Chain A
């Protein structure tokens, strides 16, 4: 593998891994707090991307405004799907698969609402109007302004989320909810309020990820759905419970899709068209061989540090 290819693929790994991490954290949060594998998560990403696209087409090019709009729309669509779909199903002793099917159904509805809108206003395959530039070039290493945006945003959001969960009262309440919901209720946590905040956070993160994902590719109603399997693979690598494990998982998935795939292509002639199979194979392998994902590894590393 030539050094230039290796460098580029590692840069891509970091950039795409950061995006996957932003999307996957929401899945881990929904699964650990709400006990729900939410396939509609993909559509919050798409909704956020469309919010960003529309704001940028209206002439506002301030990245912060675009992010806030994406966060708001993503958060709103997540909260609506909670209030309208998931909350009424709670406490009814519904099976796990009812929840999965409901998440598919609400995802389908959001996706085709976006389709209807995109068709009516002719918003297919457009790009958020922030031009791409090279900000750093040193030998084989080339970093774009997208990289300069994506990586710090992801890192900062991941840190904020971790602090929020570990240090703030809201985070404590969420963790209590994740551990034991009836106990949380008994000790006086306002469960519904905490859940609403959790959904806003999940959707908002997905929305921001969508805005950034829309800078990486073209905005289309299927763009979130196209990334969801990789994102689920990342969350499953994190054991669907650990945030640091999920972030690590996101980079592992991105690394496999970029560097490992290119290595196999360059050395063994494996067709790049097999790339979509990679996250699938990761999911199968992890669930069969190591369903806890990275969680124990991380715990052990923490114990060693102490």
Chain B
């Protein structure tokens, strides 16, 4: 029996859209604008989630005037109860905690991104960077699993509630959380649009197109790319905080290579080098995922023998291949910037 709750569905999909947008805008800045192939998106998203896991267990009780309880081992249940109670009764502590979480997550991820890129941008070939970042994400995941007290290894941290939990009304609180996610995505969008149009952004695009020319113009390449990694990683980590809050649970099992691939697909689908494209890609993935899940429910109710959830992945692969082959620029291809500087660079490149 299909009985779609349209309002709740729209809120859920738009919340995911906001979170995905942050990740896609971050990757678009890094790869689409600056040409840094960040295949370690899951790493930076996970940093945001881990920071949330730590602030909710160590910082939140102190903000609310309690002593913090060790979140793992025998006191796990008591610690969970304490943070649920605080989130339900002390909204101010919850909001301050969230604001601090966002800041710490952005700082930590930014620092990691900056440091990693500074080391790795010296690599011989650019795609090594892609591989190193991909591998770094998985390595960190395996090491965090093994660290007992960090986020309780593979038990994870539950009760990482979203800040409107105190309303005790799932409809209202999830609607407000959606607005929060969309607002943050909008801020990231406006900020990155400004960045792209700034001289710094145009320089980065020049860098992407032709390193030699830009180098010849006397721009510090490593530093510029490291800066964009700092900004991109910070945005991804904010997405990671919301990602954790949306589930209410922080666990290493979520930050696998597939998450990185999903973000890449968003950017490729929407249009590389174009923030509107990245946002469109995020919307498409959020909608298509729900659409496919609902399709699977309906087909299974119809009594199909073939497992539709496998077919879902085959379809996902086919759509990706189709896009890469016939619409390599994405649905919203990058438009040419019409600035003098761009024309100069373009002429130098002979385009």
Judge A-B direct contact (beta carbons within 8 Å).
Answer: yes
Interface residue ranges, A against B (CB under 8 Å): 37, 85, 88-89, 92, 94, 96-98, 100-102, 104-106, 108-109, 111-113, 115-116, 119-120, 229, 232, 236, 271, 273-274, 276-277, 280-281, 283-284, 287-288, 291-292
Identity of the chain A residue whose Cβ is nearest the Cβ of B322 in the assembled complex: A105
Known contacts A92-B328, A94-B328, A112 near B145 by CB under 8 Å: no
Bound complex: CA of A104 vs CA of B123, how far in Å? 23
Q: Are A97 and B37 in contact (CB under 8 A)?
A: yes
Identity of the chain A residue whose Cβ is nearest the Cβ of B261 in the assembled complex: A104
- Greatest chain A CB density within 10 A among B125, B264, B307, B324 is at B324
Bound complex: CA of A102 vs CA of B326, how far in Å? 12
B132 within 8 A of A: yes
Known contacts A105-B321, A112-B314, A280 near B123 by CB under 8 Å: no
| Complex interface bits, B31-62 against A, C-beta within 8 A gives 1, otherwise 0 | 10000010100000000000000000000000
Bound complex: CA of A111 vs CA of B264, how far in Å? 20
Bound complex: CA of A274 vs CA of B136, how far in Å? 14
Bound complex: CA of A236 vs CA of B127, how far in Å? 12
Contact with A288, one of B123, B305, B317 (Cβ below 8 angstroms): B123
Shortest beta-carbon distance from A295 to chain B in Å = 12
Identity of the chain A residue whose Cβ is nearest the Cβ of B129 in the assembled complex: A287
Bound complex: CA of A89 vs CA of B327, how far in Å? 11
Shortest beta-carbon distance from B293 to chain A in Å = 16
Q: Are B324 and A94 in contact (CB under 8 A)?
A: yes
Q: Are A274 and B317 in contact (CB under 8 A)?
A: no
Shortest beta-carbon distance from B277 to chain A in Å = 15
Identity of the chain A residue whose Cβ is nearest the Cβ of B31 in the assembled complex: A97
Residues in chain B near residue A276, CB distance under 8 A: 138, 142
Shortest beta-carbon distance from B48 to chain A in Å = 22
Residues in chain A near residue B120, CB distance under 8 A: 288
Residues in chain A near residue B155, CB distance under 8 A: none
Interface residue ranges, B against A (CB under 8 Å): 31, 37, 39, 119-120, 123-128, 130-132, 135-136, 138-139, 142-143, 145-146, 261, 264-265, 268, 305-307, 310-311, 313-314, 316-318, 320-321, 324-325, 328
Bound complex: CA of A277 vs CA of B138, how far in Å? 8
Bound complex: CA of A59 vs CA of B149, how far in Å? 52
Residues in chain A near residue B125, CB distance under 8 A: 291
Bound complex: CA of A281 vs CA of B138, how far in Å? 10
Q: Are A109 and B37 in contact (CB under 8 A)?
A: no
Shortest beta-carbon distance from A230 to chain B in Å = 12
Bound complex: CA of A256 vs CA of B166, how far in Å? 52
Q: Are B324 and A283 in contact (CB under 8 A)?
A: no
Bound complex: CA of A37 vs CA of B261, how far in Å? 16
Known contacts A116-B310, A274-B142, A288-B119, A105 near B324 by CB under 8 Å: yes
Residues in chain B near residue A105, CB distance under 8 A: 317-318, 320-321, 324
Q: Are B127 and A96 in contact (CB under 8 A)?
A: yes
Residues in chain A near residue B128, CB distance under 8 A: 287, 291
Identity of the chain A residue whose Cβ is nearest the Cβ of B311 in the assembled complex: A116
- Greatest chain A CB density within 10 A among B123, B310, B311 is at B310
Q: Are A283 and B135 in contact (CB under 8 A)?
A: yes
Known contacts A288-B120, A291-B123, A115 near B310 by CB under 8 Å: yes
Shortest beta-carbon distance from B29 to chain A in Å = 15
Top 8 A-B pairs, shortest CB-CB distance = A109-B317, A108-B317, A112-B313, A105-B320, A280-B139, A291-B124, A105-B317, A277-B142
Shortest beta-carbon distance from B137 to chain A in Å = 9
Shortest beta-carbon distance from B140 to chain A in Å = 9
Bound complex: CA of A271 vs CA of B139, how far in Å? 15
Bound complex: CA of A89 vs CA of B321, how far in Å? 10
Q: Are A280 and B142 in contact (CB under 8 A)?
A: yes
Contact with B325, one of A37, A89, A111, A288 (Cβ below 8 angstroms): A89
Residues in chain A near residue B146, CB distance under 8 A: 271, 273-274
Instruction: Please list 27 pairs of residues, one from A and one from B, whose beta carbons are closer than 8 Å in the complex, sorted by A's number.
Output: A85-B325, A88-B325, A96-B126, A96-B127, A101-B268, A101-B320, A104-B261, A105-B318, A105-B321, A109-B313, A109-B318, A111-B313, A112-B310, A112-B314, A119-B307, A120-B305, A229-B138, A236-B131, A274-B143, A276-B138, A277-B142, A280-B138, A280-B142, A283-B132, A284-B132, A284-B139, A288-B132
